[in-house]
Amino acid sequence: MFNFKAVVFDLDGTLIDTEKYFKIAWPKAFEHFGYKMTDEQYLYIRSLGKPFVQQTLKEFSGDPDFDYEKVVAFRTSIMEDLIQKNGLQIKKGAVEFLSYLKEKGIIRAIATASPVSRSERYLNQVGILQYFDKIISAGDMKEGKPSPDVYLYAVKDLGLKPEECLAVEDSPNGVRSAYSAGLKVAMIPDLSPCDEDTRKFLFAEKTDLSQLCDLF
């Protein structure tokens, strides 16, 4: 039991079940421009900040003239089509955990690689936007995940110390970002199980968000 004053959530794959769409959209976008992306490569780029993902995708493509912005724009159009066709689903236990935190007066924030505008739209679409006090985008940071800057900024913006905050993540890159910033980290694995290298950074590992109520 820790006296956490805030919980800082990742968005994609942690609160909203969007990673399954990214897993389709990224390889399709790569293929459209004549490249190939494996499942392992996609899993590697989850939650990566823009500078890191730009360089990594260029390496994956093998093309010195790789146009990141064009590929991302095409991936975004695929994502929007998938969401329009299939809708957005909330991750298991999210409403229960968010309601619990709100009742206890614990701050709820988001630290995500996604733009704030898209994050707000998705959260509103699944009906949980009202639960959050702050949304912080790693896109506004110099580096983003797995660097600690987005979590350091979030903690400072909330007026708290890192040890007063619990981070909730679904991917290794997000876990490393929060841990490096000094937060306790809980992981709810999404598309792949937690590996041993990542597990050593964790304060808790659960299978759905409602189980995190036990930490408070």
Catalytic residue among 10, 149, 170, 190: 10
Structure tokens at 94: 């999210």
> What are the residue ranges of helices labelled H in the chain?
19-32, 39-45, 50-61, 68-86, 94-104, 116-125, 149-158, 172-180, 196-199
Query: In angstroms, rounded to a whole number, what is the distance separating the alpha carbons of residues 42 and 65?
Result: 20
Decide if 10 is catalytic. yes
56, 68 contact by CB (below 8 A): no
DSSP 125-144: HTT-GGG-SEEEEGGGSSS-
Query: In angstroms, rounded to a whole number, what is the distance separating the alpha carbons of residues 163 and 12?
Result: 24
User: How many of the other CB atoms lie within 10 Å of CB of 78?
Assistant: 18
Query: In angstroms, rounded to a whole number, what is the distance separating the alpha carbons of residues 159 and 63?
Result: 44
Active-site residue list? 10
